[in-house]
Amino acid sequence: MPDDKKLTSRAEDFSAWYNEVVLRSELADYSPVRGCMVIRPDGYGIWERMQRALDDMFKATGHRNAYFPLLIPESFLHKEAQHVEGFAPEAAVVTHGGGKKLEEPLIIRPTSETIIYSMFAKWVQSYRDLPLLINQWANVVRWEMRTRLFLRTLEFLWQEGHTAHASHDEAEEEARQMLGVYRDFMEGWMAMPVVTGQKTESEKFAGALRTYACEAMMQDNKALQAGTSHNLGQNFAKAFDLKFQAESGDIEYAWNTSWGVSTRMIGGLVMTHGDDNGLRLPPLLAPTELVIVPIYRKDDERARVLEAADRIKASLLEWENREPGRLRVHVDAREGLKPGAKYYEWELRGVPLRMELGPRDLDSNQAVLVRRDTREKRPGSLDTVGEDVAELLDQIQNDMLDAARERREKNSIRGRITYDRFREVMDGEGAFVYAGWCGDPKCEAEIKEETKATIRVLPDEEFQSAEPPTACLKCGGGAKHEALWAKAY
C-alpha cells in the first residue's frame, strides 16, 4: 500500500512529482538492471487498454498482426546508411550464444524496419501482393544513457506498423492515415490533445523520407512526442531488394511506411492529467473506473453497507447500455482502514469516480459520487445509479480533454515574438511557440543550441495561425514555414 506522505507538488519540482506519482500509484518500479523498468499491474492495465483500443483501430484500417524475431543480424543495420547512423550508437549487441562466440554478432532490435523489409522482399513479387499492411506488438531495446520511467527506458513496449505500397502517393496516404489514427486515439481515449505535423529534416526518423508526429503539451509546458508515422520512401526497399512487378510489367521498388507508439504514452498520461493528489485517469483507460467505499462504524452497519455495495456493483456490471464494454467497478472492503485513508489512496491511483456509501445514505436510498478530475461531490438516487455513473464517466472523459486543451492553448504563444523574448520564455515557464522559420537548418540548430528548444513539427494546416508569421525567429529573413517550437522530453 502506498505511504501517506504528501506528494511533492508539481510547482515545487515537476520531475520529482512525476517520479513519485509513477512509483506511489504503483504504475512502475525501478528494475535491478539500470535504465529498465518493471511495469506493475496498474500500469500494465492501462497499457492493455491502450493496446486493445489501438489494435481495433489498426484492424479497422486493414492491418494484420505478425511477429518478427527480437534478434537481427548486425549486417542488416548497415544496409541503410542513415538508419545505421541513427541506431548503431544505441544498439545492444549479442556476441556470444551457447558459450560460443557468434560468427556474426546479433543486435537486439531497436526497431524492426530491417528484418521486416528483408522478409517483405521474400513475400512480395507482384503489384497484386500490395499493399502489405502489417503491425507487430513487441519490445525494443535502445541503450539510452539518461532514463526516466516510461519516458525513456532501455527496453520499452510498443507497436510498430510496417507497410509496403505500389506508389509514393499510396505510402504517403498511409503515413498520414496512421497519424490520424494516433491523434484520434490520443484525444478520444487518452483525453490528451495533440498538435500534428511534419518533422524537419534534422528531426526526422533515421532512414525516412518524411516523418509526421503527434506532439502533446505536458503540464511543465514541455512537449512530448507521443507517436510518429514515417513515409520511408524507397530507402529500405532499395537496401533490402524489396521489388515487385508493376501492372505495366516493369520491375519497381516498393514504397514503405512505418509508425509506432509506445509505453511512453503512459508517461504522457501522467504528465497531462496528474495533479498534486496523484494520478487522474481518463475513464476509458482506467483499469478501475469506479471504486465503492463502504462507510460504517458498527458490525450491523458493516454487514448492511457491504451487502448494498456488492448489490450495486452487481447491478453496475450488468449495465449494458454503455459503449465500449462493461463498467469496471471495485468495492474496497478492506478492514482496518478508515474511509479517509481509502479516499486518499484511490485519488493517488487516479480512479475517475468514487462512490461513498454509508448507512444514512442507504436510509435515504442514495449514494455520494465524487469525481476525481474536479473532486466535485454529488448525491444520487440508487434507483438511477447505472445511468448516473455511466453519464458521469462520459462527462469526465470529455471534460478532461477540454481542460487539457484549454491549458495547452493558454500556454501557447502565437504572433510576433522577438528572439530575446523567446529565450526568456524557454528559460522560464516554457510554452508552445508558433513562429516563423526561414527553412535554414543553421537557424534551427542555433536556436536549439542556445535555448534547448527544438522545432517539434511544422504544424498541419488546422494548427497554423490565422495570420502566418512572415519573418524567421532567428535571422529575421523571410519565413518559409510556421514552426512549433518547444523544449521536449
Q: How far is the CB of 438 from Zn ion (least distance, A)?
A: 3
Q: Are strands 100-108 and 92-97 parallel, antiparallel or unpaired?
A: antiparallel
Query: Is residue 475 at the binding interface for Zn ion, with CB under 5 A as the rule?
Result: yes
Nearest to 309 by CA among 281, 342, 284, 285: 342
Determine, following the binding rule CB under 5 A, whether residue 474 of this chain makes contact with Zn ion. Answer: yes
Is 483 an interacting residue with respect to Zn ion (CB under 5 A)?
Answer: no
Is-contact 405 463, C-beta < 8 A? no
* Amino acid of residue 286: A
Shortest CB 457 distance to Zn ion, Å? 18
- Select the span of 52-60, 115-123, 282-290, 442-450 touching Zn ion (CB under 5 A): 442-450
By beta-carbon proximity to Zn ion, the closer residue of 296 and 419 is 419
Total residues in contact with Zn ion, by rule CB under 5 A: 7
Query: Which is nearer to Zn ion, 214 or 472 (by Cβ)?
Result: 472
Between residues 68 and 422, which has the closer beta carbon with respect to Zn ion? 422
Q: Does 218 help bind Zn ion (rule: CB under 5 A)?
A: no
Give me the least distance between CB of 477 and Zn ion, in Å please. 5
Using CB under 5 A as the criterion, what x/- string covers residues 301-330 for binding Zn ion? ------------------------------
Among 166, 472, 483, 484, binds Zn ion (CB under 5 A): 472
CA distances from 255 to 61, 120, 203, 204, 284 (A): 18, 11, 21, 17, 36
Q: Judged by CB, which is closer to Zn ion: 378, or 442?
A: 442
Instruction: Reduce the secondary structure of the chain to three states and give it as a string.
Output: CCCCCCCCCCCCCHHHHHHHHHHHCCCEEECCCCCCEEECHHHHHHHHHHHHHHHHHHHHCCCEECCCCCEEEHHHHCCCHHHHHHHHHHCEEEEEECCEEEEEEEEECCCCHHHHHHHHHHHCCEHHHCCEEEEEEEEEECCCCCCECCCECCEEEEEEEEEEECCHHHHHHHHHHHHHHHHHHHHHCCCCCCEEEECCHHHCCCCCCEEEEEEEECCCCCEEEEEEEEEEECHHHHHCCCEEECCCCCEEECEEEEEEEECHHHHHHHHHHCECCECCCCHHHCCCCEEEEECCCCHHHHHHHHHHHHHHHHHHHCCCCCCCCCCCEEECCCCCCCHHHHHHHHHHHCCCEEEEECHHHHHCCEEEEEECCCCCEEEEEHHHHHHHHHHHHHHHHHHHHHHHHHHHHHCEECCCCCHHHHHHHHHCCCCEEEEEECCCHHHHHHHHHHHCCEEEEEECHHHCCCCCCCEECCCCCECCEEEEEECEC
- Give the nearer residue to Zn ion in terms of CB position, either 293 or 443: 443
Contacting range for Zn ion; rule: CB under 5 A; set: 131-139, 205-213, 369-377, 434-442: 434-442
Binding segment (CB under 5 A) for Zn ion, from list 52-60, 252-260, 346-354, 471-479: 471-479
Q: Give whichever of 166 and 472 is closer to Zn ion, judged by the CB atom.
A: 472
Q: Closest CB to Zn ion among 41 and 476?
A: 476
Closer CB to Zn ion, 293 or 455, in the complex: 455
Closer residue to Zn ion in complex, CB, 362/475:
475
**Which residue among 286, 438, 457, 479 contacts Zn ion (CB under 5 A)?**
438
481 binds Zn ion (CB under 5 A): no
Least spacing, CB of residue 440 vs Zn ion, in Å: 5
Q: Nearest Cα to 185, choosing from 125, 269, 250?
A: 269
CB of 232 to Zn ion, least distance (A): 29
Residue of 108, 237, 443, 447 that binds Zn ion (CB under 5 A): 443
- Site track 38-77 with Zn ion (rule: CB under 5 A), x = hit: ----------------------------------------
Residue 199 C-beta: closest distance to Zn ion, Å = 18
Toward Zn ion, which CB reaches closer, 151 or 435? 435
Question: Taking the complex as a whole, how short is the minimal distance between the CB of residue 481 and Zn ion, in angstroms?
Answer: 10
The stretch among 75-83, 180-188, 336-344, 440-448 that binds Zn ion (CB under 5 A) is: 440-448
Of 52 and 416, which has the nearer Cβ to Zn ion?
416
* Per-position b or e across 268-283, b if 16+ CB within 10 A of its CB: bbbbbbbbebbbbbbb
Minimum distance, C-beta of residue 471 to Zn ion, in the bound complex (Å): 9
> Given the rule CB under 5 A, which of 86-94, 226-234, 292-300, 433-441 is the region that contacts Zn ion?
433-441
The least distance separating Zn ion from the CB of residue 200, rounded to whole angstroms, comes to 12
Q: For residue 364, what is its C-alpha cell?
A: 435515504
CB of 211 to Zn ion, least distance (A): 21
The residue (of 157 and 438) whose beta carbon lies closer to Zn ion is 438
Residue that the C-alpha cell 462520459 belongs to: 394
Least distance to Zn ion, CB of residue 473, Å: 7
Shortest distance (Å) from residue 478 CB to Zn ion:
9
Phi and psi dihedrals of 245, rounded to 5?
Answer: -85, 120
Which residue ranges make up the site for Zn ion (CB under 5 A)? 438, 440, 443, 472, 474-475, 477
